[in-house]
Structure 1
Amino acid sequence: MRISFHGARAALMLVTGLVLATPAFPQDSTAPAGDAAATITPNTAPDSQKPWLFKGSDIPPYAAWHFGTLPNGVRYAVRRNGVPPGQVSIRVRIGVGSLMENPSQRGFAHLLEHLSFRGSAVAGDMESKRIWQRLGVTFGSDSNAETTFTQTVYKLDLPSATTASLDESMHILAGMMEQPDLDQKALDAERPAVLAERREQPGPQVKMANATRELYFAGQPLADRSPIGDVKALEAATPASVRAFHDKWYRPERAVVVVAGDLDPALLEQAITKYFGAWKGDGASPQTPDFGRPQKDEPRVATIAEPDFPPVVSMAYIRPWTVRNDTILFNQRRMIDMIAIRLVNRRLERKARSGGSFLQAGVDLDDVSRSANVTGISIVPAGKDWQAALKDVRAVIEDAKTSPPSQAEIDREVSEVLAGMKNSVATSTVEPGSSQADMMVQAVDIHETVASPQVSLAIFQQAIAKKFFTPANVLAASKKVFDGVALRAIVNTQHPDAKAPAQLLADLDANVSGLAGKRTALGKVSFDDLPKLGPAGKVTGRSVVLTNPEITKVAFANGVNLLMFPNASEKGKVYVRVRFGHGYNAIPADHVTPAWAGSIALVPSGVGTLNQEQLDQLTGDRQIGMDFGIDDDAFELSAATTAGDLDDQLRLLATKLADPGWDPNPVKRARAVALAAYDTLSSSPRGVLTRDLDGLLRDGDPRWATPSKAEVEKLTPQGFRDFWAPILASGPIEVQVFGDATADQIVSAVGKSFGALKPRPAEKTVDAPIRFPTHDTTPVVLHHNGKPDQAAALIAWPTGGGVAGIAQGRGLDVLAAIFQDRLFDQLRSQAGASYSPSVSSDWPEGLPTGGKIMAVGMVAPDKTDLFFRLSRKIAADLVATPVSDDELRRAVAPIGQYLMRASSGNPFWMEQSKGGSFDPARIAAIDTMPDDYMKLTPADVQALAKRYLVPSKDWTMVILPQSQAKAGK
């Protein structure tokens, strides 16, 4: 059964980067003690009367889904879903992945995915992309595909779907499955793009992931497989060999078509039957190969030495994966396992926050590629002492295996899981069809069912009523999930260390009993423990500032402005955003500041005397959150909540400004995280772009530049406080509340929180101009420490900014879309030099300057000149010749459809209206948006190209491998 446990970490944490997320607050609910158990009646009908997904299960079928099987074996699941309105999300799953390949076919499943998308007997070379663009589909997001170890999934989110567009799309998709173009011309065109995709993968992360997989699944096919494939096998592929692979595996009985969208399910079934019903397989259907079982006698440890990657430790308890009937009882027992995992994660996070030996550690339980059931543990040490971090994490795990948790600890986790499930039920009517389609495909892949949110909740509530979640049961679950056929571990030592394997093996077997320390129970915390605010503020003005939708401005006596949009379009959800001060305009432009650490440390630093741990306890079973970010012209606190929690949500945010906490540990952790991740940013062209591009494109402005290692090391808790305290205490405040609450509720809640603050002094602003770098005749050259076949090339032109010129900014979005389409066709589809070249436009509304249009390509080092030649040729042609009506339509239609879909949600209107309570021009610009995009003409696009794609103003950069720097290049 596919259910989500709020707060669980990503499955099998094979490290692909170092990210420390700002802690999030859990979901809305009440404590389990007072809940009446929901009744769940097992489905005892014979399998012959059950939908195909539910055979062998007693879980009640999800009534919203309609299941069926065509005579040729194609299975399908369809349902009606109106979120977003008009969209139909289609998924076609083929039961073939890299685990089905023989040694000479490594990468064929992925190569075939590319070729199928490129062309078929129904739609010629790249024609499906153009057809879907005219229907408003954005290539790469609305239309995409993925190949995993066990399946290939084709995805299409069709906006403003009609019977005709559904019919055409199903015809194309069926043609891709049954009759893809597999001739020599198509193979020669697409194979370089696949090899480019392989080349662009980040080296250290891939090396760590591959080494981990080889260790964990030693003796099994998964150990030496990767969906991206093997270069020799891909280069040796012929039309005949790829055709043989296709004909063997692309068969109707291995296909599942999933559709969730805003059309009658009967129409969806008819379209599937019409276009997939005649598909026939040749010969006998192949058997899925045996994926093996974990081998006890294989090596237990491995090491790698990547200097530009943190000294990460990953370990796992490996058990065989077996197909079990997905029953109610099975899921309830698995829920106990998940509570045990959550308890350990809670204890690990508590240690990390307090300044322990590790920055981050997490545990997850997962079935991996139908090869093993794995409890995976990932550890990022605080510094280079990975042995101490491993010992401390193992001590927490061993403690969980030997000593039962308290009932209070269990109840806290159960309460939060229950909260998340109740929130899922409350918001189920606004769950996007794309998410529902993806979940169905995932369930099919691992042989599970999909239960409705109501059924999932009832199963969990029944487990609570039957007292499944006791100290004894959770202890037994801990012993089970932290055991297996083998315990294996791998560490990146950064530098070769011959002693590391023996040390790691000894550390795995070392006795850590009693080293976890005494468990400390938290005292009770309530909102009464927050610092008090003043009396509720008085409303001094109220007016409707936008009529469609109706957004109202409310002014309070202390200078706080409220923008509100009460509506029930997203049932159960209320979005809150608090914009204060002046954002980047308030940060000094002449020296490095601790601004960079705000996103990591500001929220965890606490409120009043309450630290993050206590705030987690305070809000654990409620829908109350706090995220922080910096916008061009404001700092922002934001959250998603409910009408029932709105009062306390706003009170928490207001108190964060009025009386922030200054716990030093999150600042120390932020510094350690930044230092640990720093060298990783040198390991690939993408990493160097992430580190340096924002600063370089603003001529080194320290507000956007990544601080040096030395500057990071200088960060202290006092310095952090000295910088952020005046920012939190000064400058104007705009509160946005959009969603499922009444106007009276919103005004009252804001009045009691932000309206109760003392009037704030004006904040100092920088008003420093944002400089674009001077035109260069030869590219700026940077270097990376990664693979020698990786490089990046970039070209950018300055544009503008400010709401007064927003029409130009919107026109530049269209120009960038056309530019990207041409660069994609020429650099990827024709030359095969880059997998994912991109072109983007940025027009900051909150700043008068700083905009840019930018093209980036990840290429081989000897292809950078080709990138610049093609980019400049495209730019010159856009200046010299108006685009065709069809090309303009293919650029504008996806933008228009995106706006239609996005505008059905509250976050869209919040983004468009932000700052509008102080600057009416922001609100006025909303009404012009449709015309700014939809009435754009080829002449308008050409005029923008002439104005901004000026050769004498462009700035270029290349990022080359370090080996070329040593060679003097």
Structure 2
Amino acid sequence: MHNRYMAAAALMLLSASINTTNAQQNQVIPLDTAVRTGKLPNGFTYYIRRNTEPQQRALFYLVNKVGSILEDDDQQGLAHFMEHMNFNGTTHFPKNELVDYLQKVGVRFGADLNAYTSYDETVYQLPIPTNNPSLVTKGIEIMRDWAQGALLETDDINKERGVILEEKRLREGVAARLQEKTMPVILNNSRYTFRNPIGTDTILKTFPVAAIRRFYHDWYRPDLQALIIVGDINPVLVEQQVKQQFASLKNPDHARPRPDYKIELTGKNQWLLLTDPEITATELEILVKHPGTELKTTTDYLQAVKRGLFNQLLAYRLSELSQQANPPFLGVKAGIGNLTGGLAQFGFSVTAKPGKLKEAFELAWSQVEQVKRYGFTQTELDRAKTAYMTNLEKAKREVSKTPSNNYVAEYQQLFLNGAATPGFDWEYRFMQQQMPGIGLADIQAVATQYITATNRDIFVAGPEREKGNLPDSATVQEWLAKVSTAALQQYKDVAANEVLLPKVPAGGKIIARKHIPAVGVEQLTMSNGVKVWLKPTAYRNDQIQFMSFAPGGINKYSDADYPTASNTIGIIGGSGLGEFSPLQLSRMLNGKSASVGAYIGGRSQGINGGCTTDDLETALQLIYLRYTAPRKDTVLFENAVARSREQIRNKYDNPGNVFSDTVSNVLSNYHYRLSPVTQERLDSVSLDKAFEIYRDRFADAADANFVFVGNFNTDSIAPLLETYLGALPALNRHEQPVILHSSVPKGKLIKTVEKGNDNKATVLLVYHGDCKYSEDEQMQLQALAEILQYRLLTSLRETAGEVYTPSVQGGMTKEPDQRFSINVSFGCAPEHVEHLVGLVQEDIINLQKKGATSDELLKYKAGLRQQYELQVKSNEFWLQYIAGKVEKKEELKPLPDVEKRLNKLTGSSISNASKRYLSGENSIRFVALPEKKKD
């Protein structure tokens, strides 16, 4: 199933009856002819495709049918460990030379260069610039090394133990504790239960190096491997190189058979009650397990579409339920999806308000029972089918702009699971033929097949203090029986009004036009004062993005009104438009590709959104309604407040929330408007006041600037802009933004939070202060931050082995105050905090004394060039660039010469920058630690 237009989950979904003609039933889906594929005599498979989105880039993926499920008892965690070792020394790149080399050609470690290990596969990813043919050759060489060229030197293995253990430590917490208890149930105590990819502490600390070498020898072999290369390449030449490089791979003598492990269904139901001090709400989850199927034939494909439609229809029903007055739950979700080990599942979960689990479950599960008993209505199905085909048509118009990673994902599923990838044209034709034949009986058959009472796991999880109030298995069975025998009425669908805007406004006129050839922009001035900035592009075939801004914002309101003002968009913006509730609006817009949201920032307000070319008028109507027809809804408001109240009530049972709110409070110097929400503030929020604030903020568009970027003709869309933007209200208030200043505590400060019992620490070092803002200085700061991160990866991770991934983020603001900050963060063992903070300081001192090395500058500059080249070829970039310049009242000039700015980065300039920005004169150390154990 093509992930250009359908959720990835739909790839995995499984279903029932078919409405295909006899000639089309169960035909094998053909392979897309645009991909070159083959299998070498040693069993190695490859998929190669030319694709120029983005240009001068290619994605290289090495996919191995090798995961933790293949580990012997003494190898638990070593499939994932092996993934790490492929970055720590291969035939052509000993030690850490691989990462070093790739960074110098602009490939960033983590962001671009990465890998993952799961139960059944290990996948390595590498994006490569293709403007230099030698880099393509080098990319293939790297893939060859990853396939069978790891050195696995003893010292490197032993050094990596600490890194892996720190990665495992980061996962500690309430989610990990719950997973440890639920996974044996979900996985039916199969082999998967005992092969968590992260492994066990004991083995990771003590395994002999022979164990990982044995795993590598047994399983990293060509008959279990595939190379995927998609991008701006010559497929014929690349195929020749692949054959030359990978033909020499060897399968081991007497190769171990690769078992196809599956989770067996037991036909039994299971129950588990879970409590934990850090759980903040009570939840009931039902998981019904089913055999999985393949996606190889036309029958399989159509079944997957039906499951996708079922999920869409059920989600809509549950969304409607959530908008009833005072529901007893905080959230509910359900649907069919994939489960590991060759299984599929129907999953359901409901999160209840305190003391309302029974009511919450019965109300939510009754919707599931209603669907199983009666199915859906014809109008519901028609809307779902229309939405599906609309997305398909949209995908058709964008097919030439399909990004390479979409194709990679398809070929990966083809290799691992045999999932068909016929290409878009086949899929489009097939669904045009088959969609009309999908009927109500088909969708109800999905419900009948998946919503069953066997192979059913039920979990109830709640706060430790609520343990005595949680139901037992017999009680939940009584609830289920009650719903299954209750008298339920058939669902009655409400027809959607087909007219979004009954009366087209009179509109205004364009009174001035100005061309700005330097950036390809045309500025229009409307008779009501609205200014429109238009930049036609061809980055996408059928996309228009837009936003507006005008001075004003939340800062115009007093502290007393601030809780309401800061929530106004959530309250009013989420209540629908005009006479339409959110659900009615959703029905109205079904089959349209237009979305418009409103925002109110600190010093401005406006809208943002996007649409296809055909739906521009609909988008403009939505903009007009956002300004002129806000809607308030008492039910939705009270439901939102109730949810927020519950989120606040137990918020600080979670140690992460305690730490993050402490950081926010300290960095804002406990500024009222930047502090976390409290119950007292929430109680002061007023629906009527929010409605008043919204109308006030959008009552005057005379000073509004609209920016449109995308594939349009400025002359063709001008009449529509006159009609709708020219009709926006204009009071000519000429407001000025209110500037509110905040401060960060000066000097050196240490703030420690002790909360929770997990044996882990979180460290955040904040270096901050005033500065003189300029774009050149901002680049110096960002370069400094990234170069410091290079060093911390070496000192904290590679050398000390006490951190998994240190992060350094640098930023500079121009308004309302010229300030900078550099944040250094990492997780570690509590006993290592002082040592690691000392190492950070050593790296900073070294930067101040000696500046950046030529290698570090080369890496930063190469990475920035690669990022910049991609960024400037997107509608998103130009939308933000134009809006930013206009809002700051800066001239719209050609993009800055990046090379000229990069030339200003030198070893000594980084030294000077480190003295300015990392002096430590104003610095805050935040540390989260576990609670001290009481005697």
Match of 1:296 in 2: 267
Aligned partner of 2:288 in structure 1 is 317
1:425 paired to 2:396: yes
Matches within 5 A, 1:134-283: 134-201=104-171, 203-283=173-253
2:87·2:98 contact (CA, 8 Å) conserved in 1? yes
* 8 Å CA contact 1:2, 1:449 repeated in 2: no
Partners of 1:727 and 1:94 lie apart in 2 by: 56
Following superposition, the deviation at residue 475 of structure 1 comes to 1.7
**Cα distance, 1:537 vs. partner?**
2.4
* Residue 834 of structure 2 is aligned to residue 865 of structure 1: yes
Select 2:34's aligned residue among 61, 64, 72. Answer: 64
Residue 823 of structure 2 corresponds to 854
Matches within 5 A, 1:766-785: 766-776=738-748, 778-785=749-756
Matched, 1:643 2:632: no
Matched, 1:538 2:509: yes
Q: How does 1:535-934 map to 2 (within 5 A)?
A: 535-545=506-516, 547-548=518-519, 550-583=520-553, 592-594=562-564, 597=567, 600-628=570-598, 633-678=603-648, 682=652, 687-688=657-658, 690-730=660-700, 732-760=703-731, 761-763=733-735, 765-776=737-748, 778-785=749-756, 787-800=758-771, 805-921=774-890, 923-924=892-893, 926-933=895-902
Q: Contact 2:645 / 2:679 at 8 angstroms: preserved in 1? A: yes
Asked if 1 retains the 8 angstrom alpha-carbon contact of 2:90 and 2:145, the reply is: yes
The answer on 1:87 being equivalent to 2:49 is no
Tell me what 1:944 maps to.
Answer: 913
Aligned to 2:427: 456
Q: Is residue 475 from structure 1 mapped to residue 447 from structure 2 by the alignment? A: no
1:405-456 residue CA offsets vs partner (Å, 9 max, x unmatched):
2211111111111111221222122221123213321343333112323322
Tell me the distance in 2 between the aligned counterparts of 1:5 and 1:675.
37
In the TM superposition, residue 327 of structure 1 has moved relative to its aligned partner by: 0.6
Q: Which stretch shows the higher mean deviation, 935-944 or 654-663? A: 935-944
Contact 1:360 1:381 in 2 (8 A): yes
Describe the SS at the equivalent of 2:286.
strand
Distance 2:894 2:932 in 1: 50
Q: Distance in 2 between matches of 1:679 and 1:460?
A: 49
Determine if contact 2:222/2:249 at 8 Å carries over to the other structure. Answer: yes
Shift, 1:887, TM fit: 0.9
Unaligned runs of 5+ in 2: 14-18
Structure 1: runs of 5 or more not aligned? 14-36, 45-55
Q: Give CA-to-partner distance per residue, 1:720-772, whole Å, 9 cap, x none.
A: 43444433335742212111111123433332222211214344633122312
Mapped to 1, the partners of 2:449 and 2:118 lie a distance apart of 28
Normalised to the residue count of structure 2, the TM-score between the two structures is 0.92
Secondary structure in structure 2 of the residue aligned to 1:232: helix
Indicate if the aligned counterparts of 1:91 and 1:155 stay in contact, CA closer than 8 A: yes
1:643 match: secondary structure: coil
Could you list the per-position Cα deviations for residues 868-912 of structure 1 after superposition, in whole angstroms to 9, with x for gaps in the alignment? 212222222222222122211111211111010111111011122
Corresponding residue number in structure 2 for 1:132: 102
Q: 1:717 to 1:224 in 2, by over 3 A?
A: farther
Q: How far off its partner does 1:850 sit?
A: 4.4
Give the 3 Å change call, closer, same or farther, for CA 446–376 of structure 1 in structure 2: farther
Residue in structure 2 matching 1:406, options 377, 389, 396: 377
Bigger Cα displacement from structure 2, 937-946 vs 260-269: 937-946
Say if 2:308 is the partner of 1:338.
yes
Number of the residue aligned with 1:358: 329
DSSP 3-state at the match of 1:72: coil
1:151 shift after superposition: 0.6
Aligned residues: 923
Structure 1 pair 714–243 and aligned structure 2 pair: CA distance change class (3 A): farther
Distance of aligned partners of 1:139 and 1:394 in 2 relative to their CA distance in 1, 3 Å threshold: same
**1:358, CA displacement in angstroms?**
2.5
Distance 2:932 2:721 in 1: 58
Say if 2:761 and 2:927, in contact at 8 Å, map to a contact too: no
Residue 68 of structure 1 and its aligned partner are, at CA, apart by: 1.1
SS of the residue 1:373 aligns to: strand
In 1: Cα distance, 2:638 partner to 2:804 partner: 39
Structure 1 letter corresponding to 2:227? V
Q: What's the RMSD between the two structures over aligned residues?
A: 3.0
2:472 match: secondary structure? helix
1:295-326 Cα distance to aligned partner (Å, 9 max, x none): 2235244433343333232211111234x461
TM-score (norm 1): 0.89
Q: Matched residue of 1:956: which SS?
A: strand
- Residue 908 and residue 463 in structure 1: after superposition, are their counterparts in 2 closer, same or farther (change >3 A)? same
Shift in CA distance, 143/268, structure 1 to aligned 2, threshold 3 Å? same
61-70 or 607-616, which deviates more: 61-70
CA distances 1:79-113 after superposition (whole Å, capped 9, x unpaired):
11111211111111111112222332221111111
Partner of 1:29: none
Equivalent position amino acid for 2:144 in 1? A
Find the aligned partners of 1:841 and 1:631 in 2 and give their Cα distance: 23
Q: 1:798·1:853 contact (CA, 8 Å) conserved in 2?
A: no
Does the 8 A contact of 1:88 with 1:433 survive in 2? yes
Task: Quote the sequence identity (%).
Answer: 20
Is the 8 Å Cα contact of residues 72 and 280 (structure 1) preserved in structure 2?
A: yes
CA drift at 1:566: 0.9
Q: Is the 8 Å Cα contact of residues 600 and 666 (structure 1) preserved in structure 2?
A: no
Instruction: Find the residue that maps to 2:594 and give its secondary structure.
Output: coil
Which residue identity does 1:364 align to in structure 2?
G
Letter in 1 for 2:633: D
Give the match's secondary structure for 1:244: helix
Deviation at 1:202? 5.0
* Other structure's SS at 1:572 match: coil
Q: Deviations over 1:912-949 (max 9, x none)?
A: 22143344426348435553345422232223222222
1:504 match = 476
Cα distance, 1:243 vs structure 2: 0.5
1:811–1:414 distance in 2 versus 1, CA, 3 Å: same
Distance 1:233 1:792 in 2: 27
Paired residue for 2:491, among 516, 519, 522?
Answer: 519
Pair 1:789–1:943, CA change in 2 (3 A) = closer
The Cα of 1:628 is off from its aligned counterpart by 4.9
Q: 1:328 to 1:823 in 2, by over 3 A?
A: same
Question: What CA distance in whole angstroms lies between the structure 2 residues aligned with 1:225 and 1:184?
Answer: 24
- Tell me by how many angstroms 1:867 deviates: 3.1
Q: Report the Cα offset of residue 683 of structure 1.
A: 6.2
The match for 1:376 is 347
For each residue in 1:557-592, what CA deviation from the matched residue of structure 2 results, as whole angstroms up to 9, or x when unmatched? 322222211122211111122334455655657885
Query: Contact conserved, 2:9 with 2:338, CA < 8 A, in 1?
Result: no
User: Against the structure 1 CA distance between its residues 282 and 135, is the aligned structure 2 distance closer, same or farther, given a 3 Å change threshold?
Assistant: same
Instruction: Say if 2:533 and 2:706, in contact at 8 Å, map to a contact too.
Output: yes
